Amino acid sequence: MTRRFEPPHNLPHILDPNTPIGLSNFRGSTEEFGIQPVDRARHTYIIGKTGMGKSTLLENMLYSDIISGRGIALIDPHGDLADTILANIPKSRTNDIVLFDPSDTEYPIAFNMLDNPNPELRPIVASGLVSIFKKMFAESWGPRLEYILRNTILTLLLIPDTTLISIPLMLTHESYRRKVVSKITDPILIQFWTNEFEKMAPAQMSEAINPILNKVGQFLSSPILRNILGQPKNPFSLRWIMDNGKIFIVNLSKGKIGEDASALLGAMMVTKFQIEAMTRADTPESERRDFGLYVDEFQNFATDSFATILSEARKYKLSLTMANQYIAQMPETVQGAVFGNVGSLISFQVGHDDAMKFAEVFGGEDVITPHDLTNLRKYDIYTKLLIDGMPSPVFSATTYAPLHERIDTPPQQSRDILLKVSREKYTKKRDYVEKKIFEYAAKISDDEKKYCKEKEEYKEGLKIKKDMERKQNSLGESVESQTPNVAKMKIYKESERKKLNEEKIPT
């Protein structure tokens, strides 16, 4: 039997808009309590082994937000929680539902990180994308790879209708690259492409870009990812999702789309939320609508920039609720960000190593021991709650069974109708999407073939001209220097051949 601890005297009661957590369980006291909206703005971290009640608590918090009319987003790498929430949406909120489900392959939803970013935020978008790829390929990362990838992304952010598909095209298709560079005005980027990249020897260029092509190509070779990431126009912005209090369910089931695809899309989604939240700076703080972002198994999606989200999201009225099973799943930088910025900590039963850490965070072994934390029963928690902006002493509680099973619920909408509504509003059919992506890539490839052909003709024409000059000079004759342009090269070659034949010089 684990020890139980007295709740604080100012424990917030369950009254809307407080988010319900559970009941205190000290000496027979069963006081219901929740987290106030002002304190949720400082974020919540939930940890616990599988099967201890973590998902049920997330479900209850989400359901409370939904029936109260609040805006939320859920990023779920397993899919079970997303399915449960979708099965309990009130009819009154049907039009608020936005589904992002990559496994719905017949209706791929667009998600383009390069779509019309705020000019001031372009460097942040580029850094975010670089951080994501760095996390995915940490073992084979290098400074030159990062340098080229960053400059490529920064360049493409300046060009309308580019996507991640444009990255390999930019690196391998000279005609496309030159066309893009001709449209930008940033002197640093122009210098990179004209004075550094273009002057690489072919072998050096191949060595430099192959790691990027391999890494980006690994994702774009997946039809699921290509059809999502290759659409140039997003059907909505995450800023719009937040400002309008939508219910955004992101089902990234690893069992359906694969672990790598789930990790990539989740990391992009978390990064995009950070960027879109920052655009709320153009709205007075008092007018910013509260929005809750829930991320299960968040360590899968947390990049080095995650600390920025935790430290800055609060002022933009974006509150995070994060959950996972083990502290060791998080990189050290993310651990520091979590324990340095999160206001409310909730622990279900954990393993020994995590118990050592949480015993320290909860006040040391004079207050609570690792043994207490490793022996919690299912649904029981220890928590250090933020109350009116101040952390409470650790206390014990028991979380609720699923709310939709305990309380009278409003009429629920069927999953099929929710799926139909979201498809009609926010997606396009697969055939159309694939046709447009193919046409985009084919046009660039055709332009490249034409460009390469003309380039070879130009080189051949110059060679003929130099040979002609050399032969004429050997006869003591002079010829007016000419530099034929590419468009006239065929005519140039033929006229020079006729001229040489007339002068009896062998060709």
| Full DSSP string of 268-337 | HHHHHHHHHHHGGGGS-GGGPPPEEEEEETGGGT--TTHHHHHHHGGGGTEEEEEEES-GGGS-HHHHHH
Place of tokens 């396009």: 428
Q: What is the pLDDT of residue 505?
A: 32
Q: How far is CA 326 from CA 43, 329, 353, 474, in A?
A: 18, 6, 9, 82
Q: What is the DSSP letter of 194?
A: I
In total, the chain counts a number of residues equal to 507
Single pTM value for the model? 0.88
- Residue closest to 19 by CA, chosen among 55, 66, 87: 66
Residuewise pLDDT in 10s, the chain (507 residues) = 688 999 999 999 876 667 889 999 998 888 899 999 999 999 999 999 999 999 999 999 999 999 999 999 999 999 999 999 999 999 999 999 999 999 999 999 999 999 977 888 999 999 999 999 998 888 889 999 999 999 999 999 999 999 999 999 999 999 999 999 999 999 999 999 999 999 999 999 999 999 999 999 999 999 999 999 999 999 999 999 999 999 999 999 999 999 999 999 999 999 999 999 999 999 998 899 999 999 999 989 988 777 788 888 889 999 999 999 999 888 888 888 899 899 999 999 999 999 999 999 999 888 899 999 999 999 999 999 999 999 999 999 999 988 767 666 677 888 899 999 999 999 999 999 999 999 999 999 888 888 788 777 777 777 777 777 777 777 665 544 444 454 444 444 454 444 434 333 333
Please list, in sequence order, all residues whose beta carbon lies within 8 angstroms of the beta carbon of residue 92, skipping any fewer than 6 positions away.
410, 411
Calculate the CA 81 to chain-centre distance: 20
- From CA 462, how far away is CA 481, in angstroms rounded? 11
- From CA 177, how far away is CA 163, in angstroms rounded? 14
Strands (E) across 85-179 are located at 97-100
- From CA 491, how far away is CA 231, in angstroms rounded? 42
- Residue closest to 77 by CA, chosen among 237, 249, 221, 242: 249
In DSSP terms, which residues pair with 251 in a beta bridge?
Answer: 76
- From CA 175, how far away is CA 20, in angstroms rounded? 59
Q: What is the DSSP letter of 193?
A: I
- Expressed in angstroms, the distance from the first to the final Cα of the chain is 100
Q: What is the pLDDT of residue 477?
A: 53
- From CA 484, how far away is CA 482, in angstroms rounded? 6
User: 202: buried, middle or exposed (CB in 10 Å: 19+, 13-18, 0-12)?
Assistant: exposed
Q: What is the pLDDT of residue 18?
A: 72
- From CA 355, how far away is CA 375, in angstroms rounded? 10
In DSSP terms, which residues pair with 380 in a beta bridge?
Answer: 398
DSSP string, 22-85: EEE-STT---EEEE-HHHHTT-EEEE--TTSSHHHHHHHHHHHHHHTT-EEEEEESSSHHHHHH
